């Protein structure tokens, strides 16, 4: 009897400790400001323009190709982040332009959430919680959601080089490590913090050790 109570208390304390660590990590990530200088702004814009195959990182006023329309979001997002982080009066102009773009294309992308290399695949709806933090080189297909779970504000934390397939949902305090591919229409509500894998399903589970880099190698062949 005593041993059973001891084991139950140990498991409870372990789970509580894990939960508190996840909350602490979430709170720490809330205050990250990726772009805090003109040098950083230029670095982000040049890097992301290159991912779209664009030679210049200037705002594409006359956007004919889909990639130019998509890069508009990156451009306005990064400019708004910079002027907001610097608390410049220009932030109001860029916020207005960014909100107008987001309403037109149903892309709810908040400030200071994505690190360098954000890439959108095709025009379409996307929803991201402002308390999330996503690493470098994130690829988002259409109809993807990164949202809080239940009534709390704790949102997913995602590492570098993660691909979110069409219709995938990342929910709650899920932590996804580096180099993870999330399959189409998957629902992720638990941790895959080890990274270097492909996950899919409802709920999501590891289906292979292939990473987005492996996919790219196959495409080149």
Q: Which domain holds residue 79?
A: 31-112
| Backbone torsions φ then ψ of 214, nearest 5 degrees | -65, -40
Q: Which residue has the tokens 């080089």?
A: 161
Tokens of 136: 């470098």
For residue 216, the 8-state DSSP code is: H
The tally of domains found in the chain comes to 2
| pLDDT confidence of residue 27 | 43
Q: 206 has which bridge partners?
A: 199
Distance CA(184)–CA(186), nearest Å, equals: 6
Does one domain contain both 57 and 104? Answer: yes
Residue 171's H or E segment, with its range, is strand 169-171
Among 50, 81, 112, the domain boundary falls at: 112
Distance CA(190)–CA(134), nearest Å, equals: 16
- CATH code, domain with 197: 2.160.10.10
| pLDDT confidence of residue 217 | 59
Does one domain contain both 41 and 89? Answer: yes
Does one domain contain both 40 and 72? Answer: yes
Q: Are strands 205-208 and 197-200 parallel, antiparallel or unpaired?
A: antiparallel
- In terms of pTM, does the model score above 0.85? no
Does one domain contain both 218 and 174? Answer: yes
Distance CA(83)–CA(60), nearest Å, equals: 20
Task: Describe the crossing of helices 66-85 and 38-51 by its angle, rounded to 10 degrees.
Answer: 160
CA angle 65/76/108 to nearest 5° reads: 90
| pLDDT confidence of residue 213 | 82
In order along its 221 residues, the chain shows pLDDT tens digits of 544 544 444 444 444 444 444 444 444 444 567 898 999 999 999 999 999 999 887 887 778 899 999 999 999 999 999 999 999 999 999 999 999 999 999 999 999 999 999 999 999 999 999 999 999 999 999 999 999 987 777 899 999 999 999 999 999 999 999 999 999 999 999 999 998 999 999 999 999 988 888 766 555 55
| pLDDT confidence of residue 141 | 96
Residue 25's H or E segment, with its range, is helix 2-30
Question: Length of the chain, please?
Answer: 221
Distance CA(211)–CA(193), nearest Å, equals: 14
Distance CA(199)–CA(42), nearest Å, equals: 34
Tokens of 3: 């041993």
Q: Is residue 48 part of a domain?
A: yes
Does one domain contain both 177 and 99? Answer: no
Does one domain contain both 195 and 135? Answer: yes
Does one domain contain both 208 and 133? Answer: yes
Distance CA(184)–CA(45), nearest Å, equals: 28
Tokens of 1: 């009897």
| pLDDT confidence of residue 19 | 42
């Amino acid at each position: 009897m005593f041993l059973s109570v001891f084991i139950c208390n140990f498991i409870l304390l372990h789970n509580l400790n894990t939960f508190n660590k996840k909350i602490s990590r979430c709170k720490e990530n809330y205050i990250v400001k990726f772009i805090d200088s003109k040098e950083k702004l230029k670095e982000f814009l040049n890097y992301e323009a290159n991912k779209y195959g664009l030679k210049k990182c200037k705002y594409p006023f006359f956007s004919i190709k889909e990639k130019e329309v998509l890069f508009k979001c990156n451009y306005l997002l990064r400019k708004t982040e910079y002027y907001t982080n610097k608390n410049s009066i220009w932030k109001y102009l860029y916020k207005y332009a960014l909100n107008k773009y987001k309403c037109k294309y149903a892309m709810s992308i908040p400030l200071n959430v994505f690190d360098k290399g954000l890439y959108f695949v095709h025009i379409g709806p996307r929803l991201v919680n402002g308390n999330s933090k996503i690493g470098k080189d994130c690829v988002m297909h259409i109809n993807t959601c990164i949202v809080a779970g239940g009534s709390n504000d704790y949102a997913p934390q995602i590492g570098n080089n993660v691909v979110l397939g069409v219709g995938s949902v990342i929910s709650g305090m899920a932590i996804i490590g580096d180099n993870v591919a999330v399959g189409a229409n998957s629902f992720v509500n638990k941790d895959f913090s080890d990274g270097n894998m492909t996950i899919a399903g409802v709920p999501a589970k590891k289906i292979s050790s292939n990473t987005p880099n492996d996919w790219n190698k196959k495409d080149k062949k």
